[in-house]
Amino acid sequence: MSVTQEKTGIIHTLGAYALWGVLPIYWKLLETVSPGETLAHRIIWSAIFMIIIVLSVGKWHELLREWKALMQNRRKFIGVFMATTVISLNWLTFIWAVHNDHVIQASLGYYINPLISILLGILVLKESFTFRQTISFIMAAIGVLYLTISYGVFPWISLLLATSFGLYGLLKKKIDIGPMIGLTIETMLISPIALLFLCFLPQSTFQWGTILSTTNMLLIGAGVVTAIPLLLFASGAKRISLSLVGFLQYLAPTLMLLIGVFLYNEPFTSAHFIAFLFIWLALINYLLASYQKPTKKQFQKAN
């Protein structure tokens, strides 16, 4: 791979994580709209925007082929529907967290997500657990437990975000559909449910008579802010190493944390600092373990 390609990959991947990191600002602008209605619009407009993208890049036949294969394979259909359900739950939780001034707790969720993914890999895929991964997981658990004891409130938002996103990644790994076609199919699949939800709303915020109103445009734009980071990530991740992708992913929760503390003035107490410190140390240990070269004994065992 050329240096130019690698630079492009880094820029695209950084762009994706930066956009994901500042997403709380976008959802905060829609604070007057209920999380459920915001989610429904996000799903529908994401499907529309992704179909336009698929058409523009000439992947329509690939989409039809994958859709047909999905309809003919019950197991794959269930897998995709489950993935769609958990990512919808993740989106809803995140929007609710932003609307209710829990951006810091949302950032915590995405900090611990890699460790939850490791745990899911062990429990579901029967992957091995290294000693350093065990240490990282224990340290992160101490951080979460300390925050729970200090405030007497379980950080369910953080764990729900981390677990739902971890499950989504696990299901996507088993389904094996590309990110662009995958997001298109997922949003198409759940769009009828989102549309029904909007139809039965007692009072909708979205008004066709005032289509160019700020709220309407923000709801339509929800599809764009969902798709663009994913497309950037898909473009960037294939050009750089997986370990570099793993390192860059912490840009998003770091930006969320800074936004929560400095832009929205959410409380960041000494208890938060101690909890986050344990989690940061856990992640540093996890990253060092990822970059560590295997020993001769480990290499021989692997071969």
Q: Is the pLDDT of residue 299 over 80?
A: no
Chain centre distance of CA 110:
8
C-alpha distances (whole Å) from 77 to each of 10, 177, 186, 206, 230 are 34, 12, 10, 32, 22
Q: Is the pLDDT of residue 245 over 90?
A: no
pLDDT tens digit sequence for 98-115: 999 999 999 999 999 888
Mean pLDDT of 263-290: 89
pLDDT band at residue 292 using 50, 70 and 90 as cut-offs: low
* H/E segment holding residue 194: helix 179-199
Cα separation of 22 and 25, whole Å?
A: 6
What does the domain layout of the chain look like in residue ranges? 3-302
Q: Is the pLDDT of residue 293 over 60?
A: no
Residue 86 tokens, joined = 């958990």
pLDDT band at residue 127 using 50, 70 and 90 as cut-offs: confident
Cα separation of 74 and 258, whole Å?
A: 44
Cα separation of 161 and 67, whole Å?
A: 28
Q: Specify the pTM.
A: 0.88
pLDDT tens digit sequence for 37-70: 999 999 999 999 999 999 999 999 999 999 999 9
**Rama region for 176: left / alpha / beta (φ>0; ψ in -120 to 50; rest):** left
pLDDT band at residue 297 using 50, 70 and 90 as cut-offs: very low
Give the pLDDT score at 278. 93
Q: Looking up tokens 């739902």, which residue turns up?
A: 164
Give the pLDDT score at 1. 56
Counting Cα atoms < 13 Å in the Cβ hemisphere of 153 gives 9
pLDDT band at residue 174 using 50, 70 and 90 as cut-offs: confident
Give the pLDDT score at 129. 73
Give the pLDDT score at 120. 85
Mean pLDDT of 223-232: 92
pLDDT band at residue 209 using 50, 70 and 90 as cut-offs: low
Q: Which of residues 15 and 176 earns the better pLDDT score?
A: 15
Q: What is the mean pLDDT of the chain?
A: 88
* H/E segment holding residue 56: helix 35-56
